[in-house]
Amino acid sequence: MPVPNDNSRPPAAWCYSGNQIRRWRTLANVSREALAAAANYAPETISSMERGVRMPSPRLLDIADELCGAQGMLSAAKEYVRRERYSARAVDFIEREREATSLWTYEVALVPGLLQTRAYAKALIDNRIPPLDEETVEERVTARMERQTILTARKPPVGLSFVLYEAVLRSQLVDEEQLQRLLEVSRLRNVVLQVLPFEKAFANALEGPMVLLEGPDHDRCAFMEGGLASEFSADPGVVSRVTERLSMIRTRALDPDETARLIERMVGRRE
């Protein structure tokens, strides 16, 4: 699968579905304001959906289908837009994650999505600037929870390694439920969970999260994410550098038993 360089492009399903909404609306002589009123959205929200910037919601597709007399043509798009419930820059990564046979993850500020509780995930997704609408928030939270089937549902199991910088655990967002979830996942046979203590950190470990994925054909890809941009690359040089950094981080991190004891002590303090 080719790895695109443009992380900002909307998913094709969003763009196509939005384009079809606009075309059917125009053909039926339905104004954007009329569709917005029927769907209880702002006209600006309808505009962003028609342009593919925002995912056309299943509810809007059904309402537009009925209002424009599309005879199911618009409603049929629900199956495809639901597959693209992730932010645009994450879509290609999610596709590779679904196929991965092993995955190494390092996080410097947040609990990885595969280990998040629903409450933690919603707190993150619902606290964006600019804010997302409630329906999009729920779609993304549900999609994140569904990703977690990789922990237990795949056969043979996917080898999963997670290293969290200590600051992740010290965040006020991490409550007792989230700590217990980390302990629960750490007991799975295919999961290794470690914590990198403050005193063991080095410069590259503070630059941001990194993920290394290996596919069924032993091909490797690296994913590095920042606040406004991310890089997803299969370039051997990039993969080699990420592998080297992740290996060093894992070496400096607490071993899994030490990590479990640290988290257990933190649970005790938050009870």
Per DSSP, the three-state class of 52 is coil
End residue of a domain, out of 30, 65, 84: 84
- Low-confidence residues of the chain, pLDDT below 70? 1-9, 82-91, 226-229, 270-271
Let me know if residue 5 belongs to a domain.
no
Domain count, the chain: 2
- 80 and 92 co-located in one domain: no
- 19 and 138 co-located in one domain: no
End residue of a domain, out of 32, 59, 84: 84
- 67 and 169 co-located in one domain: no
Q: What is the pLDDT of residues 151-200, one digit of tens each?
A: 998 889 999 999 999 999 999 999 999 999 999 999 999 999 999 999 99
With a pLDDT cut of 90, the percent of the chain lying above it is 68
Q: Where are the alpha helices (DSSP H) in the chain?
A: 12-27, 32-39, 43-50, 58-68, 78-81, 91-99, 118-125, 134-147, 166-170, 176-186, 236-252, 256-270
Let me know if residue 4 belongs to a domain.
no
- 180 and 66 co-located in one domain: no
Cis amide linkage into residue 156, ω under 30° from 0: yes
**Residue 197 amino acid letter:** P
End residue of a domain, out of 48, 64, 84: 84
Whether the model pTM is above 0.85:
no
DSSP 207-259: S--EEEEE-TTS-EEEEEE-SS-EEEE--HHHHHHHHHHHHHHHHHSPPHHHH
- 45 and 173 co-located in one domain: no
72: containing domain: 12-84
State the CATH number of the domain containing residue 136.
3.30.870
Q: What is the pLDDT of residues 219-248, one digit of tens each?
A: 999 998 765 567 888 899 999 999 999 999
How distant is the alpha carbon of residue 180 from its chain centre? 21
